[in-house]
Structure 1
């Protein structure tokens, strides 16, 4: 709804309120006027009767004049009383109308959340500046308010133009950057449904599916990438994505096929190439050592089992609903990408969480590649992995033994500022 439409609706509602207040008063005024005219007519009729009775000798001339004077005085008194009553009623009616209008405006403002409407308008006004800031690559300069305003502006635009596939795609990418994987996937699916022929939409959809690490979604990502490769088999970027998705699924054949297509074009020091190579070696070695139909022995797996509990200082600050996010990072480098992540609805404490290679975000980079890990447990009201003020967190740093499972206790003991 535009602001002009909003003002028209508000004006109409105010007019309706005024009419509802004034209608009974106007109706009484019409009745009073009608009664006054009827009384005058009755007085005139009675005066004519007195005149006739005097002519016929039924009453004396003195009695006629006295009766006539009394009727006229009674009519004057009644007319004066009606005017006085009307004057006294006007002030209460005006005061009542003002109070009703005031109450109506307050209730309307509360029910329709005018402050949120104003915020949405401000967010739309700031959209060009935020878009320029985002396109310039200054994402690190974005504040929490900038991100919230950008998301709100995009959502507001989408209410006005729900068939805008670019708007849904922008919203999905923004949510992906915030770690809101489920919401991002839903927005990107909307964009793809609106324009299924858009190749970039399909690529972004495949990327969103790969982020989750879920087997069913990885298979769907692989299917989407196969459709893209049929149309453009020489696209190295899509081939690399296919190799990564296949590696995550443990599909050694497709991983080898598409990695061979792009490996010579990757930089010599490419971290992605190193991880895919390590994962491919692992898959091919497993194929040699694990007989068909058997399950892999879990002995020699690298991982950490954490018993997570709350300190007395934060017990009263735990939200009723939220998420527990547990992850491991390399403590010996500036790399902030988690080597393993577990995200779950907020459980009862204490709770035991195990981090292994199965919880890696990307193939070839897991706890097995770390010598020393920074282990973090965080309580968040949403699924966003980025830290936010008010969230609760605990941390510890541990040596990682290759091929060993270690057990530690991790206490959530502080509030993020």
Structure 2
């Protein structure tokens, strides 16, 4: 912002340099006219003396005429033609006022016009995402070309290795693409520049867990604990700390962390409040030795799962009870009508998300179109929301999306399909990719 105002000041001074010399030259001319007015007064006195000498017979007519012509000649030489006493008196003061007003008004007018018509937000520091050059960021298919963006960002970081915002964006982009090893490297650069930021520590812990089959034990838990020492009310750190305790079967401690998290969630986030409450209830039930609430609820409602032909009711109940494993498995295919719109190397994302409420994936698996028809299995190791599939009590929907850009975020032209609402633990889930996003 300082550089902008320095440059703007230079332009304002440059504009004044075009105007002020002209005004000063006019002022100097007016001063010259004032001097000429004084000369005119002197010549008038000399002419009056000539008239007096002629009337008193001191000069003859010839002498008088000759002296008068000489006096007029000198006066014409000393005074430029067209300059008058009136112009000198009226113009002098007016010119000084004009110069003063010009010096004051030009900068004020320029700044006022910019504040009114210009983009003042451009003067504020911009994030790395906003500053990053986006030229050529789209490909022929109209999708965001993340590869081009990453190349530009990587090149910029080589020139500016201390750009913490750039490293952070690079890490988050890799994480979004589920390239967790590259994301881990980027976050290591972030922590080298800011080792005591609880947000960065928590994100890094999540990334390390993803490179460790989804387990938060070991280094991830150490990072989470450090983040909580720096910020005891960091929501993501509390969520992950509870998940780590649950993973170690320390259900009482897990419930304690999630209760702290619950106190931070605004009441308007009803779905999230309900989800955390369900997780707390599940942890407390297991801590009290009463077993899993999720398993009991499914045993009481076996009809939520449609048994295949030949399976007895008792077998159906037993299958429903496997929800505690936190696994969803089945097969996804693509409609023949859409098969020609996908390339073998396009990214295929298979995910589970809540039937209602936030659409963030609970678990995600990345494959390629060439793997279709693809058999899949989603489990706790692929959890992305801090709440594992095995503890999620509500119905979910399994979906698949084909992305030409490689991004898991929905974009125009992506192909997708969804299953019917199902319970955690369901097997034999079959659905078809049969839609194209407009």
2:331 alignment counterpart:
307
Figure out how many residues of one structure are paired with residues of the other and give that number: 276
Conserved in 2, the CA contact under 8 Å of 1:309 and 1:412?
Answer: yes
Conserved in 1, the CA contact under 8 Å of 2:144 and 2:405?
Answer: no
2:407 equivalent to 1:384: yes
Q: How has the CA–CA distance of structure 1 residues 182 and 223 changed in structure 2, closer, same or farther, with 3 Å as cutoff?
A: same
2:180 equivalent to 1:158: no
Normalised TM-score (structure 2): 0.48
2:365 equivalent to 1:342: yes
Provide structure 2 residue ranges, at least 5 long, that are not aligned to the other structure. Answer: 1-121, 132-137, 292-317
1:409 to 411, 414, 430: 430
Q: How has the CA–CA distance of structure 1 residues 212 and 379 changed in structure 2, closer, same or farther, with 3 Å as cutoff?
A: farther
Normalised TM-score (structure 1): 0.50
Question: In 1, Cα distance between the equivalents of 2:152 and 2:186?
Answer: 15
Question: In 1, Cα distance between the equivalents of 2:285 and 2:373?
Answer: 38
How far is 1:213 from its partner?
8.8
Conserved in 1, the CA contact under 8 Å of 2:221 and 2:241?
Answer: no
2:325 equivalent to 1:325: no
The alignment's C-alpha RMSD in Å is 4.6
Q: Could you list the per-position Cα deviations for residues 306-343 of structure 1 after superposition, in whole angstroms to 9, with x for gaps in the alignment?
A: 32223333445543434331123445x46322344333
Correspondence list, 1:15-414, <5 A = 131=127, 151=150, 153-176=152-175, 181-209=180-208, 214-216=213-215, 219-230=218-229, 232=230, 234-237=232-235, 240-246=238-244, 249=247, 251-261=250-260, 263-268=262-267, 271-286=271-286, 288=289, 299-302=320-323, 305-331=329-355, 333=356, 335-345=358-368, 348-355=371-378, 360-364=383-387, 366=389, 369-371=393-395, 373-381=396-404, 383-389=406-412, 391-393=414-416, 395-400=417-422, 402=423, 405=426, 407-413=428-434
Conserved in 1, the CA contact under 8 Å of 2:164 and 2:193?
Answer: yes
Conserved in 2, the CA contact under 8 Å of 1:325 and 1:377?
Answer: yes
Conserved in 2, the CA contact under 8 Å of 1:307 and 1:352?
Answer: yes
Q: How has the CA–CA distance of structure 1 residues 298 and 145 changed in structure 2, closer, same or farther, with 3 Å as cutoff?
A: closer
Provide structure 1 residue ranges, at least 5 long, that are not aligned to the other structure. Answer: 1-125, 136-141, 291-296
Question: In 1, Cα distance between the equivalents of 2:418 and 2:234?
Answer: 41
Conserved in 2, the CA contact under 8 Å of 1:308 and 1:352?
Answer: yes
How far is 1:259 from its partner?
3.6
Question: In 2, Cα distance between the equivalents of 1:322 and 1:145?
Answer: 14
Q: How has the CA–CA distance of structure 1 residues 218 and 245 changed in structure 2, closer, same or farther, with 3 Å as cutoff?
A: farther
SS at match of 1:405: coil
Conserved in 1, the CA contact under 8 Å of 2:242 and 2:256?
Answer: no
Q: Could you list the per-position Cα deviations for residues 250-299 of structure 1 after superposition, in whole angstroms to 9, with x for gaps in the alignment?
A: 54244234345554454456554543342243244345267xxxxxx875
Q: Which has the larger radius of gyration?
A: 2
Conserved in 2, the CA contact under 8 Å of 1:244 and 1:276?
Answer: no
Conserved in 2, the CA contact under 8 Å of 1:300 and 1:403?
Answer: no
Q: How has the CA–CA distance of structure 1 residues 199 and 328 changed in structure 2, closer, same or farther, with 3 Å as cutoff?
A: closer
SS at match of 2:428: strand
